[in-house]
Structures are given as structure tokens and as C-alpha cells.
Amino acid sequence: MVKRRTCVFISGKGSNLNNLISHSRKSNFPIKICLVISDNKKAKGIIYAKKYKIPYIFINTNLTNYENKIILNLKKYKISFICLAGYMKIISGKLINIYKKKIINIHPSLLPKFKGLNTFSRILKNKEVKTGCTVHYVNEKLDSGNIITQKFFYIKSGNNEQTLKENTQKLEYKAFPEAVIKIFRYN
């Protein structure tokens, strides 16, 4: 199996990155993580890149040409697929056009509901009965690309933002690898 050279973009803890790395080390998983990009110098997820000796770079998204730096590094490492795993910046149209249908994101709600930030508080405020996560293709509209897979659970009385986050992350660790397999099963 030829594994697709993949970059994972992160901003924080990196638990989805760690999960993808462990899956990518299996011989039958379709991607190999060859680069990690973070917009946060203090992102804890960098420890996983270091642990597994995966090259990583920090991109200062406050600089006007940061996008060109991302593209140069993606080309340098021959990246053909991108996973956004808790990356808290909007991906530009330029990058989306270069990697059309090759950028996926995981979002902590059942899209199209609750796009954007502060998802768990909005879910509780709206008195939702169920929630979950969505893996979708990235397009130029926030959290609006075609859905690849979704997983859900029912919200229990007494759930708060923290318990919703924990339950959602458990589903994310299943949904993200399943979506990657689903994408490459047909390519």
C-alpha cells in the first residue's frame, strides 16, 4: 500500500494528532504523517511530533506571508493530504484551491449545526438531545464542506461543557481514522 504523505495542522493539545499518528503506524492505514504544522508555539501537541520524530514547524499567522510559508513547507515535504485536528485558524482559499478535496477537518458537533467556536456551550443553551462530531472536507465556507462521517451520542441530564467535550473526543478518536480510511478506500 502506498501511503499518502500527510500533514496535520494543530493549535493545542494534539490528542487527535496522537490518535492519527498511532493509526498511521499500522501497515494498512492509508496515510503517513510526514509533517505537523502549528500556529501556536506552545501547542502541547508538538510533543507527539517530537516523540515520533515527525518534522514540525510553527507558523506565525500574524505575518502577512504566512500562507506562502505553509505552502512552501507542504511542497518541501511532498504533502498530498491535510488533516486539521483542532487547528483554530481559517484555511485560505489559496490553500484550499491547491489541495482541493484533500483537506479534511474534524468538528465537535453534528454539522450543519453549531459551526464555529464555543460549540459545547451553544449545544447546552439550545437544549439539544444529541450531539457528536463530524469529519468533513474543507471548503471556503466555515465548517460547510461535504460531510465524510458523523458519530453521535445522546446528552444526559447533568452533562456540562466538560463532559460533552470528553464524550465528543472519544467519538472523534473513532471518526477521524474511519473518515481517512473511507476517503482512500475509493481512491
Catalytic-residue membership of 107: yes
The answer to whether the CB of 85 falls within 8 A of the CB of 64 is no
| Amino acid code (one letter) for 21 | I
Catalytic pick from 107, 134, 137, 175? 107
> ∠ CA(119), CA(125), CA(127), 5° rounding?
105
Q: Which long-range contacts (CB under 8 A, 24 or more apart) does 115-118 make?
A: 115/142, 115/143, 115/144, 116/142, 116/143
SS3 (DSSP) at 148: strand
Enzyme catalytic residues: 107
